[in-house]
């Protein structure tokens, strides 16, 4: 019933507006408004509106940009971001200047040169000097921006420093998996055919280097040390993104990618900076990946170097093999003993039992 | 059809026997017509239909983004199962909505609706041709587009929903139905529809190019073409060179989806099983897609810029400033648009050296764009500006083009793109520079050429109200998105509640949504004005805007063949507005220099000797 009333009301309102419009046009026809000029009435008023829009728009722009600066400008948490942020704000200064000046000219001229009777426009078809000026000046400014940008681009995308901490990040619908190289400092190889419900990253256990790899549930990073993320996607394209680190790289199935950076603010410090004791760095998926794309979150914790070292020492005991000893069956016979030592599996007698349990659950 | 074709031939052969037109039947006049003007109207009406659908879809997802807590139960009668039992929008359908919004707006509204309408309508009328080079191909072009539209429209009603992988439909997401529902039948229909669309574009484009090269009237040299025609010409070339690449990308995707090939698929484990595909590259698809995709944004904006050039010159009563520079920048943009595509791919993991190359090329393309903006502004300087609705929309276009163009300088710089890529900053950027600017170009064109299309005038006041509501509304929608983007909000997110980092700006998103709803509502003022004026508008005078171009020399309701009697000759460029010494503040292109000794410049006085005045009546 209510719906019906709403529909009727809408129809009536439309009918009223239509009738009113029809009446005014008919009245205009009857009155035969004198307009020998092709200029429609209210031309000056449009010019005034242009100026009002210009002033109001610029005022709102500056007011909001300044008031909200700390909200939209996330604090920086990596070393390269200091430089890129600098370039960002230089570019911002240049573009805002051009933006304001051109909009002032655009709306200002519109107002100033609005139609006046008995005024003739200035026949001014071209001026080569002017056009050279506004070809060359933008070209120089852009060239300068390009050069400053590319210098940093080549550093950021260049090879990681030798002492970088290598960590593997894998995106899958709809979560992240992380793998650390363990005691030997080297990640074992992986193969998508080895993936199953437990071995989510497809660690290839025929590779000895993988026997001591461990997979914590969050990404833990040392502050002040370069980190090299080895990135891959398991099913569709994802994107490893965090706005605090100003860091992003796609995770592409079939094509490993990487990104290195140096975290410069620990989680604890950031909690103070943001005045938010609950603060955590979040790993954001930034490439459309399916239904729960918007919920694909990973946790990142940045620790001081000594905290990181002790966390690493403690966590590396939980190797993948140790936690899932059933996978020892995938280890080649001649490497088994070494694998047990690398993975930290002590209780050898239990192996048989666990293996059968694991393989039955597989 | 054949009847009209024969007539056309006759028209060309002997212009004198013009009165022998047979009455056309309804079908050959309004449906399977070969008249470029009617085909233009068909494109326009279909484009308007799609704009309402595309805009409507965006309102649904803006409701979700602006008011995540709101119950959308009331949409159930329309959306059915896509409203969850809790009264929320289904997250997968949300992705289908953004995908279809993008596809519809970019291809069906701003490519077919804009180029299809105005290239078809204006090319023959402004160069002095009776029709397109091939009326039949032109008709096919529309009907391929229509078929493409039907397929895409039907896909909206599939049980698994329309395509949902974003308008760029990157594989593997778009290739694997197990990855997202939209990659089932919806994606198949998307690909079929796009294949038809590409055929339509090519048929149209070949026709535009051929017509402009071959059918210009006497005196209409390339250096006397209105800038609209230059823009349509370069646009058609861009489409002709880039759309086939999209077709190849789509074909390979069809093979991957349906025939087990591995062009784009490699090493995938999904839904509990490892797929057999190895050796493909998802990045290959992105290269192919953006090889069309980037020229495509210029295919969308160039016609709008051409239309604006014409309207600004006419209504500022001044020659367009730097006619040759404008042509040069259209050509420059056209060329460069083919060598910047990988700036969409800075963070895909492609070789960083490529990133450097594409950064340089991308920022170079900013130069011709800047020239255009400066030239528009200089055209206004010391003008005598008449604010018709078309002029208002053109000024609005320049404002959007500047605002959105400047943010491109951030995104084109690879090192800054690392943080901004795929955030709302990108959404703000392209919606202003390409979406809203082209949309305004389209509206400006409709307001300006409505009198020629339908022989009647649109209402001026309603047009102005429509402009101000749209202009302010669009800035309120897209300007705030820059802040949201700088704060790192990713695009294509159904909701931001999972992330603490994105817990801010709920209020700003609500504002954006309200502005979007109001802007959308304001378009109904236009729709009313448009359809009402077709039937009941004031009859249009011959040359309502006192314009120089030759479409205004045709009768109020031009028949098939456009001019009664001989096609007028052209003697001058299209921008002789407010020429010193001239009687009026405009001199149409059809007026010979020998008739205007009072206003001729020195080199023009030379030209009077060579003018062939046979068949030209002295009007004054």
What are the tokens at B354? 């490529």
Q: Would you call A88 an interface residue with chain B, using a CB distance cutoff of 8 Å?
A: yes
In A219-290, the DSSP E strands lie at 219-222, 227-233, 238-242, 247-251, 257-261, 281-285
B170 contact residues in A (CB cutoff 8 A): 237, 287-288
Would you call B115 helix, strand, or coil by DSSP? helix
Q: What is the pLDDT of residue B184?
A: 93
Packed helices B437-454 and B117-127: angle between N→C axes, nearest 10 degrees: 50
- What pLDDT digit, counting tens, does each position of A59-94 carry? 999 999 999 999 999 999 999 999 999 999 999 999
At CA A186, angle to CA A185 and CA A191, rounded to 5?
Answer: 150
More confident of the two residues B27 and A170: A170
B619 confidence band (pLDDT: 50, 70, 90): low
**Interface contact flag, A113 B381, Cβ < 8 Å:** yes
pLDDT digits (tens, 9 = 90+) for A96-141: 999 999 999 999 999 999 999 888 999 999 899 999 999 999 999 9
Rounded Cα distance between A215 and A324, Å, is 12
The Cβ of residue B76 has, within 10 Å, a number of other Cβ atoms equal to: 13
Q: Does A235 touch chain B (CB under 8 A)?
A: yes
- Residues B529-579 have pLDDT tens digits of 999 999 999 999 999 999 999 999 999 999 888 999 899 999 999 999 999
- Chain B, window 106-165: residues with a beta carbon less than 8 angstroms from a chain A beta carbon: 165
Nearest chain B CA: its distance from A349 CA (Å): 32
pLDDT, one tens digit per residue, over A133-191 is 999 999 999 999 999 999 999 999 999 999 999 999 999 999 999 999 999 999 999 99
| Position B386 in a domain | yes
Q: CB of B385 within 8 A of CB of B313?
A: no
Pair of tokens at residue A260: 């290195």
Q: What is the CATH number of the domain that holds B405?
A: 1.20.210.10
More confident residue, B606 or B46: B46
Whether B580 is in a domain gets the answer: no
Q: Do B382 and A64 touch (CB under 8 A)?
A: no
Instruction: Report the residue of A32, A43, A46, A147 to disrupt the B interface, i.e. the one with the largest count of B CBs within 10 Å.
Output: A46
Copy the structure tokens of residue B488: 């790192």
pLDDT of the residue at A348: 54
Question: Is A268 at the interface with chain B, CB within 8 A?
Answer: no
What pLDDT is attached to residue A347? 61
For residue A19, the model assigns a pLDDT of 80
Least CB–CB distance from B274: residue in A126, A192, A243: A192
Beta-carbon separation of A49 and B468 below 8 A: yes
| Residue whose token pair is 């400066």 | B374
Maximum pairwise Cα distance, chain B: 84
Assembly ipTM: 0.92
Is residue B614 a part of any domain in this protein? no
pLDDT at position A362 is 38
Both structure tokens of B546: 């006192």
Distance CA B464, CA B257 (A): 49
φ/ψ (deg, to 5) at B444 = -60, -45
Instruction: Choose the mutation target among B103, B166, B347 for the interface with A, i.e. most A CBs under 10 Å.
Output: B347
pLDDT digits (tens, 9 = 90+) for A212-223: 999 999 999 999
Q: Is A153 on the interface with B (CB under 8 A)?
A: yes
DSSP letter for B557, please: S
Q: Within a domain: residue B355?
A: yes
Nearest residue on chain A to B271, alpha-carbon basis: A235
Asked if residue A199 has pLDDT above 90, the reply is yes
Chain-chain contact of A192 with B267 (C-beta, under 8 angstroms): yes
Q: Which of B177, B385, B481 to mutate to test the interface with A (most CBs of A within 10 A)?
A: B385
For residue A225, the number of C-alpha atoms closer than 13 Å in the C-beta half-sphere is: 18
C-alpha A318/C-alpha B2 separation (Å) is 81
Q: Which chain A residues contact residue B308 at CB under 8 A?
A: none
Do A294 and B403 count as a contact with CB atoms less than 8 A apart?
A: no
Put simply, the answer to whether B348 touches A250 (Cβ < 8 Å) is: yes
**B88: domain range?**
33-267+275-536
Please tell me if residue A333 touches chain B, with a CB cutoff of 8 Å. no
Tell if the CB–CB gap between B385 and A102 is shorter than 8 Å: no
Query: Inter-chain contact B382–A91, Cβ cutoff 8 Å?
Result: no
Taking contacts as CB-CB distances below 8 angstroms, the residues of chain B near A114 are 385, 387
Beta strands A175-179; A165-172: pairing state: antiparallel
d(CA A47, CA B551) in angstroms, rounded, equals 29
Q: How many Å lie between the alpha carbon of B327 and the closest alpha carbon of chain A?
A: 13
- Judge: B464–A157 Cβ closer than 8 Å, yes or no: no
In a domain, B9, yes or no: no
> Does any domain span residue B471?
yes
Q: Is residue B217 part of a domain?
A: yes
Confidence band for A32, pLDDT divided at 50, 70 and 90: low
Mutate to test the interface with A, among B420, B490, B599 (most CBs of A within 10 A): B490
Cβ distance B522 to B470 under 8 Å? yes
Is residue B550, in this structure, part of any structural domain at all?
no
Structure tokens at B409: 């300088």
Which residue in the set B282, B370, B385 is minimally distant from A110, CB to CB?
A: B385
| CB-nearest partner of A102 from B170, B373, B496 | B373
- Structural domains in chain B (count): 1
B1 or A214: whose pLDDT is higher? Answer: A214
Are B421 and A68 an interchain contact pair (Cβ–Cβ within 8 Å)?
A: no
CB contact under 8 A, B483 and A68: yes
Q: CB under 8 Å to B353, separation ≥6 — which residues? A: none
Token pair, residue A360, equals 């039955």
The percent of residues in chain B predicted with pLDDT above 70, rounded, is 96
Chain-centre distance of CA B36, in angstroms?
A: 18
> CA angle, B39 as apex, B34 and B43 as ends, to 5°?
155
pLDDT digits (tens, 9 = 90+) for B52-89: 999 999 999 999 999 999 999 999 998 989 999 999 99
Q: Which residue has the tokens 């052209």?
A: B570
| A230 touching B (Cβ < 8 Å) | no
pLDDT for B12: 45
A15 chain-B contacts, CB cut-off 8 A: none
B457–A contact, CB cutoff 8 A:
no
Q: Which of residues 188-217 of A touch B (CB under 8 A)?
A: 192-193, 195, 197, 202
**Residue numbers in A near B184 (CB within 8 A):** none
Please list every residue in chain B whose beta carbon sits closer than 8 Å to the beta carbon of residue A173: 179, 270
**B269 and A47: CB-CB below 8 Å?**
no
The pLDDT-based confidence of A33 (bands split at 50, 70, 90) is low
A274 touches B at CB < 8 Å: no
Query: In this predicted structure, what is the pLDDT of residue B620?
Result: 47
Partners of A106 on chain B (C-beta within 8 Å) are 376-377, 380, 395, 398-399, 402
Over 60: is that where the pLDDT of B19 sits? no
Chain A to chain B, count of Cβ pairs less than 8 Å apart? Answer: 344
Give residue B17's pLDDT band: very low, low, confident or very high (50, 70, 90): very low
Contact A40 B460 (CB under 8 A): yes
Taking contacts as CB-CB distances below 8 angstroms, the residues of chain B near A129 are none
CA distance A26 to A32: 10
pLDDT of residue A178: 97
Nearest CA in chain A to B363: A142
Tell me whether strands A281-285 and A238-242 are parallel, antiparallel or unpaired. Answer: antiparallel
Whether the CB-CB separation of B467 and B392 falls below 8 Å is answered with yes
Per DSSP, which regions of chain A are E strands? 165-172, 175-179, 219-222, 227-233, 238-242, 247-251, 257-261, 281-285, 297-303
**Hunting for tokens 């919606």 — which residue is that?**
B431
Question: CB distance from B319 to chain A under 8 Å?
Answer: yes
The dihedrals phi and psi of B533, each to the nearest 5 degrees, come to -70, -25
pLDDT band at B36 (very low <50, low <70, confident <90, very high): very high
CB contact under 8 A, A255 and B472: no
Q: Which of A260-274, B1-15, B94-108 has the lowest mean pLDDT?
A: B1-15
A105/B contact by beta carbon, under 8 A: yes
Q: In this structure, are residues A231 and A240 in contact, taking their beta carbons and an 8 Å threshold? A: yes
Asked if B370 and A138 come within 8 Å (Cβ–Cβ), the reply is yes
Task: Check CB contact of A154 with chain B, cutoff 8 Å.
Answer: yes
Min distance A301 CA to chain B CA atoms (Å)? 14
A174 vs B: CB within 8 A: no
Q: Residue A359 contacts by C-beta under 8 Å, 6 or more apart in sequence?
A: A326, A329
Residue closest to B161 by CA, chosen among B178, B181, B189: B181
Q: Which domains does chain A have, with CATH numbers?
A: 44-114+131-158 (no CATH), 165-361 (2.60.40.420)
Q: What residues of A are in contact with residue B500 (Cβ under 8 Å)?
A: 278-280, 282
């Amino acid at each position: 019933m209510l719906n019906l009333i709403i529909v009727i009301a809408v129809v009536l309102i439309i009918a009223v507006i239509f009738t009113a419009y029809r009446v005014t046009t008919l009245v205009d026809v009857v009155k035969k408004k004198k307009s020998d000029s092709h200029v429609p009435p209210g031309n000056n008023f449009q010019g005034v509106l242009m100026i009002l829009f210009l002033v109001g728009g610029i005022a709102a722009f500056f007011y909001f940009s300044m008031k909200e600066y700390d909200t939209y400008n996330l604090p920086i948490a990596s070393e390269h971001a200091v430089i890129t942020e600098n370039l960002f704000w230089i570019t911002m200064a240049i573009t805002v200047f051009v933006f304001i000046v051109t909009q002032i000219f655009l709306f200002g001229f519109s107002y100033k040169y609005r139609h006046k009777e008995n005024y003739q426009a200035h026949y001014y078809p071209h001026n080569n000097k002017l056009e050279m000026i506004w070809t060359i000046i933008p070209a120089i400014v852009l060239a300068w921006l390009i050069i400053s940008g590319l210098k940093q681009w080549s550093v950021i995308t260049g090879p990681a420093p030798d002492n970088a901490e290598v960590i593997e990040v894998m995106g899958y619908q709809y979560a992240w998996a992380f793998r650390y190289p363990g005691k030997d400092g080297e990640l074992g190889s992986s193969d998508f055919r080895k993936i199953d419900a437990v071995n989510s990253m497809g660690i290839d256990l025929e590779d000895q280097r993988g026997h001591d790899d461990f997979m914590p549930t969050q990404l833990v990073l040392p502050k002040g040390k370069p980190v090299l993320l080895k990135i891959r996607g398991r099913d569709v394209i994802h994107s490893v993104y965090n706005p605090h680190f100003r860091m992003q790289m796609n995770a592409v199935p079939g094509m490993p990618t990487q990104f290195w950076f140096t975290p410069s603010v620990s989680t604890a410090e950031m909690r103070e900076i943001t005045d938010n004791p609950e603060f955590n760095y979040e790993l954001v998926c930034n490439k459309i990946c399916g239904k729960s794309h918007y919920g694909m979150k990973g946790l990142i914790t940045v620790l001081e170097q000594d905290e990181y070292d002790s966390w690493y020492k403690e966590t590396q005991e939980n190797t993948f093999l140790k936690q899932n000893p059933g996978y020892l069956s995938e280890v080649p016979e001649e490497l088994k003993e070494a694998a047990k030592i690398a993975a930290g599996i002590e209780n050898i007698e239990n192996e048989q039992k666990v293996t059968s349990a694991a393989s039955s659950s597989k | 059809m054949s009847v009209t074709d024969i007539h056309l031939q006759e028209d060309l052969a002997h212009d004198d026997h013009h009165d022998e037109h047979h009455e056309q039947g309804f079908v050959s006049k309004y449906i399977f017509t070969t008249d470029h003007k009617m085909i233009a109207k068909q494109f326009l009406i279909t484009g308007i239909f799609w704009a309402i659908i595309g805009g409507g879809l965006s309102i649904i997802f803006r409701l979700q983004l602006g008011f995540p807590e709101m119950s959308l139960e009331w949409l159930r009668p329309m959306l059915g199962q896509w409203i969850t039992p809790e009264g929320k929008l289904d997250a997968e359908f949300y992705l289908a909505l953004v995908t279809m919004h993008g596809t519809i707006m970019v291809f069906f509204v701003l490519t077919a609706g804009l180029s299809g309408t105005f290239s078809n309508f204006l090319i023959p009328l402004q160069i002095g041709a009776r029709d397109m080079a091939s009326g039949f191909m032109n008709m096919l072009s529309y009907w391929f587009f229509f078929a493409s539209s039907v397929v895409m429209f039907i896909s909206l009603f599939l049980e698994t929903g329309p395509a949902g992988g974003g308008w760029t439909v990157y594989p593997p997401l778009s290739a694997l139905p197990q990855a997202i529902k939209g990659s089932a039948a919806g994606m198949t229909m998307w690909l079929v529809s796009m294949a038809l669309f590409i055929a339509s574009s090519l048929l149209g484009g070949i026709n535009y190019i051929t017509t402009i090269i071959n059918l210009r009237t006497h005196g209409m040299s390339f250096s006397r073409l209105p800038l609209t025609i230059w823009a349509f010409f370069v646009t058609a070339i861009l489409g002709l060179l880039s759309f086939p690449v999209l077709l190849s990308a789509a074909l390979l995707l069809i093979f991957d989806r349906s025939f087990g090939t591995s062009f784009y698929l490699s090493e995938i484990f999904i839904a509990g099983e490892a797929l057999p595909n190895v050796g493909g590259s998802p990045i290959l698809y992105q290269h192919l897609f953006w090889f069309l995709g980037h020229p495509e944004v210029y295919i969308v904006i160039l016609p709008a810029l051409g239309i604006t050039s014409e309207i600004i010159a006419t209504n500022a009563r001044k020659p367009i400033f730097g006619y040759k520079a404008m042509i040069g920048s259209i050509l420059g943009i056209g060329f460069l648009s083919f060598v910047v595509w990988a700036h969409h791919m800075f963070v895909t993991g492609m070789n960083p050296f490529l990133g450097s190359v594409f950064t340089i090329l991308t920022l170079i393309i900013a130069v011709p764009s800047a020239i255009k903006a400066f030239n528009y502004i200089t055209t206004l300087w010391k003008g005598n500006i008449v604010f018709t609705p078309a002029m208002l929309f053109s000024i609005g276009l320049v404002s959007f083009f500047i605002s959105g163009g400047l943010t491109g300088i951030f995104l084109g710089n690879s090192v800054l793109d690392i943080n901004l890529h795929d955030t709302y900053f990108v959404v703000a950027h392209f919606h202003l520079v390409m979406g809203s600017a082209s949309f305004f170009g389209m509206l400006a064109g409709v307001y300006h050429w409505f009198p020629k299309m339908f022989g009647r005038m649109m209402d001026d006041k309603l047009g102005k109200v429509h402009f101000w509501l749209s202009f302010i509304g669009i800035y309120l929608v897209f300007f705030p998105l820059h802040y949201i983007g700088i704060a790192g909000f990713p695009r294509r997110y159904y909701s931001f509640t999972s992330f603490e980092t994105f817990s801010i700006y709920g209020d700003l998103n609500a504002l954006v949504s309200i502005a979007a709803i109001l802007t959308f509502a304001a378009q109904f003022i236009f729709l009313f004005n448009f359809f009402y004026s077709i039937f009941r508008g004031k009859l249009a005078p011959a040359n309502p805007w006192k314009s120089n171009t030759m479409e205004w020399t045709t009768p109020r309701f031009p028949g098939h063949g456009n001019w009664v009697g001989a096609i007028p000759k052209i003697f001058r460029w299209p921008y002789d507005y407010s020429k010193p010494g001239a009687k009026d503040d405009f001199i149409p292109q059809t007026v010979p220099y020998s008739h205007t000794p009072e206003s001729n410049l020195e080199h023009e006085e030379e030209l009077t000797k060579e003018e062939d005045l046979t068949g030209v009546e002295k009007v004054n």
